[in-house]
Chains A and B, each alone.
Chain A
Amino acid sequence: MLLVAVVFLYPLFWMLLGSFKANNEIFNTRVFWPENWSGRYYGILFSGEYFDFGRSLANSIFVSLAQGIGATALAAMAGFVLGVYRFRARMPLLGLGLLVVLIPAQMMALPLFTWVNTLGLFDNPLGVVLPGLVSGLGLLFFTRVFRQIPVELLDAARIEGASEGRIFLTILPLVKPFLIAFGFAHFVLAWHAHVIPLLILHSDGVRTLPLSLAALFGSSLNSPQAVLLAGSAIGMAPLIIVFAFAYPRLKSALQEFVAS
């Protein structure tokens, strides 16, 4: 297992080392440790010689965070209703959620692009965020999560005359691990999204990090590739840190979910 872990981490470690290397060292795989450690590529990255790194990072954080929080809220609200109550439209609505899973937005990237254009959201972060708030997987997930809530609890709240929204808010702390787990998963997916941001976000000021890095990669091989690797390394750091903190929660939430 240790060996497997090494194999899995090797390319990433290599990326980190690569961010200190000159071009000829990067493309020569016989060089493992950089000859002379040079931090200047990080300097170039932040100086914005190739693209405005800070701006791209901020864009990425905004777009992904908005999607993670928004999608979790919407899916949890709808999932609460579908999970707790039985009514005639329930199955058709769940079927609709399943359809959304089966036809992901990437596949409709083209019509989505023209539609977002029509709405006047072209080149606007909202054009990426708003479509990203719909998660079929989230609906199915939270429907199942809320089905586990004991009925007595709901009845007690109802007898006290609490409104539907109140009941939902009272129950929310009980499912906190699930909210975190789903929110994190959606955040990661949003962070990685490429096709839809590529089509919708056009000018440099609104581009997300993956787009800027891909553009830098495509531009020319003469630019120091270490800058690209440095950007990638820093771009991954927030995910890994958040993930490290969320990991135990994620694990217990998932185990509970699977067991139910």
Chain B
Amino acid sequence: MSLPTARFDIPWGRVFLAAPFFLFLAIFWAVPLGQGVGLSLESDTLWGESHFVGFKHYSNLLQDQRYWKAVLNTSVFTVSTVACVITLALVFAHALRGCWGKLRGPLTFALMVPGLCPPTVLALLFLLVFHGQEGLLNRWLIQPLGFETVNWLADPDFILSGIVIQAVWRWTGFMSFFLLCALNARPRDVLDAAEIDGANAWQRFSKITLPLIAPTLLFCLIYLVVDCFAQFAGSYVLFGGSGGTNDAGLLLVSYAYQRAFVGGGFGSGAAVSLSIVPWLAGMLFLIALSPRYFWKAGQS
């Protein structure tokens, strides 16, 4: 009997189990990514011969006013959406825990239903919510409070808030659900001990609850940020792929779509798409670094 040399013994069973995933990853993720990088270095020609232009598209972007507008819009959209959703979700999750047991399930469920609504339907619904003078928002909130009616979809000052409201409506329920599960999973005895030791509600929340739910919170943050950056369908239906009045609703993905399919510039479109990656990575890096306990807890 020959002793197998463990170092070179390939565990074929494991390889076969893991291979399909990474095979698909290579074919349908890595190859397009590589091609995208290649495409972004070539001139804007539809199907004919294109030639290598190096980083010209990228340097053009740096001087492109509309591009910076899209970057700014996407950042504002992402930050405000994430801030609203996470705050609301935390409040809702606590409120749901406090409410009567039999009602809790149906209520959580009701909050989550908007998340099942396809983005296209969502945009249509909100066309009516934001609709001119008679929209729901104007009629129930703005007028009773004594403000002038806002033309949500045409006034450049309000377009972005319109998309934010839409995203908040969509995601808050799901995030509340995640946080509710995280709250339920907290060990009871730790909380009880803190209460007996005389910690007040805020101390219990900031010193015990927050670190305990930090991994879930981190997941929610990352998920939201990635989703906001990739946001397309909502604004596509609302503005037909354009940026709305004065480009006030122009987001990075819709700008890339415009460059490539409306403007016919595949190369520069690909450059816009790829330029999203560093912005996104930067944003996630900030999230992971800024509050120290997020990072520590996320490691565990």
Contacts and interface: CB of A to CB of B under 8 A. Distances in A.
Contacts of A188: 115-116
Given A134-B25, A194-B120, A163 B222 contact: no
Given A139-B21, A164-B17, A258 B36 contact: no
A1 B92 contact: yes
B32 interface: yes
Contacts of B119: 192, 194, 210
A209 B119 CA distance: 12
B113 interface: yes
A173 to B, nearest CB: 17
B203 interface: no
A106 interface: yes
A130 B20 CA distance: 12
Interface string A101-117: 11111111111101100
Interface string B108-123: 0111111111111100
A236 B240 contact: no
A17 B132 CA distance: 20
A interface residue count range (under 10 / 10 to 19 / 20 to 34 / 35 or more): 35 or more
A101 B222 contact: yes
Nearest to A105: B29
B232 interface: yes
A191 B103 CA distance: 29
Contact of B116 (A30, A101, A240): A240
Contacts of A42: none
A63 to B, nearest CB: 13
B25 A164 contact: no
B273 A114 contact: no
B16 to A, nearest CB: 7
A33 interface: no
Interface of A: 1-2, 4-5, 8-12, 14-15, 18, 26-30, 74-75, 77-78, 80-82, 85, 93, 96, 100-112, 114-115, 130-131, 133-134, 139, 163-165, 168, 188, 191-192, 194-195, 199, 209-210, 213-214, 217-218, 228-229, 232, 235-236, 239-240, 243-244, 247, 251, 254-256, 258-259
12 contacts: A29-B134, A30-B134, A96-B22, A102-B226, A102-B281, A103-B277, A114-B39, A165-B13, A168-B17, A194-B236, A214-B120, A214-B237
